[in-house]
Amino acid sequence: MASAQGPVATPSPEQGFICRPPSHSVTPFPGTTSVSFSQACPQSLARCPQLWSPVLTHSPASPAMAQNGAVPSEATKKDQNLTRGNWGNQIEFVLTSVGYAVGLGNVWRFPYLCYRNGGGAFMFPYFIMLIFCGIPLFFMELSFGQFASQGCLGVWRISPMFKGVGYGMMVVSTYIGIYYNVVICIAFYYFFSSMTHVLPWAYCNNPWNTPDCAGVLDASNLTNGSRPAALSGNLSHLFNYTLQRTSPSEEYWRLYVLKLSDDIGNFGEVRLPLLGCLGVSWVVVFLCLIRGVKSSGKVVYFTATFPYVVLTILFVRGVTLEGAFTGIMYYLTPQWDKILEAKVWGDAASQIFYSLGCAWGGLITMASYNKFH
């Protein structure tokens, strides 16, 4: 992959170590630490002169090496990036990967796509795309990042021709981080708004509601009757009314939270509550990443497990409601003719890449904090 200039000491069979001056050292991925030293260096790691720069090699362990003062097992345990740091343990990396792969896209987008693309029949193209596209790319990026110990930009030093791919990943991750924080901002807003005795989006008797608002819980008079009518003259007026009903939750979101205007030229005003929630979301992100993987690795113990607790509670509550089985059957009844449509397969592929986060750069970056072995 690269070559070094100048003389290089040849290791003896007993030592198996190589050491080069800093000007002659070559590493395929800068930032990796070393486990090998030259014949000129003393046999003790602590007494090795600082003049020599370590070069990563992968020499097999042998009893002779241990006898000369270098213990391969200790070097393997310390084979980590001292500048960028590493995950505290393997569980932190696993939980981070699970939290990264299973996110909001699985909660709000997958049920909608499943219902639109044939119900249970959508699972067939979904699992086909998952097995043959999603999982291979997922593990390929993890392996790439762990081997290189570099982020989505530095990893392409192995082939500078593809460095633009790394910049593309960085741009995509930047935009995703911006709009995902907006989603978190909205979640914070609804969380704070729900701390009332009566939910503001449950009824239509609020100042922002329109006459078209129709809530399920609103009281309404139902009348049924008949009245004969006799027409003895000319009919001069004919009335036809079409009512476009909207839910109170929709009007709360559109007319109160966002305060959307009907005119594109009217930009409206800054919604201070939303701005405050957005600031809170960015502060939370900052606190989670303030120490890199050392802090985020501890946060994932909560963020990667608590959503499953909430989803389990909602699932148990949903399946115990009256008519739940009928709704589930209506939702999952397969329409096998749908799998012949190309759009269904496209939606399955997009959901896989959207859910797993492939080609975003996040998988490479997270795996780069793993130890090499």
CB 86 within 8 A of CB 369: yes
226 annotated as belonging to a binding site for a ligand: no
Which residues in the chain show pLDDT less than 70?
1-81, 216-243
- With CA atoms as reference, report the closest residue to 8 among 50, 47, 57, 48: 57
How many angstroms separate the CA atoms of 132 and 39, rounded? Answer: 49
99 annotated as belonging to a binding site for a ligand: yes
Q: How far is CA 361 from CA 51, 89, 124, 144, in A?
A: 36, 22, 28, 11
- With CA atoms as reference, report the closest residue to 189 among 249, 274, 307: 274
In a 3-state reduction of DSSP, which class is residue 213? strand
369: Cα within 13 Å, side-chain hemisphere: 23
- pLDDT score of 229: 54
Structure tokens at 274: 């939303």
Q: What are the residue ranges spanned by the domains of the chain? A: 1-79, 90-201+291-367
- pLDDT score of 218: 54
CB 156 within 8 A of CB 162: yes
- pLDDT score of 235: 58
106 annotated as belonging to a binding site for a ligand: yes
Which alpha helices (DSSP H) does 268-359 contain, by range?
Answer: 272-288, 293-303, 306-319, 324-332, 342-356
- pLDDT score of 52: 35
pTM, entire model: 0.69
- pLDDT score of 297: 92
101 annotated as belonging to a binding site for a ligand: yes
102 annotated as belonging to a binding site for a ligand: yes
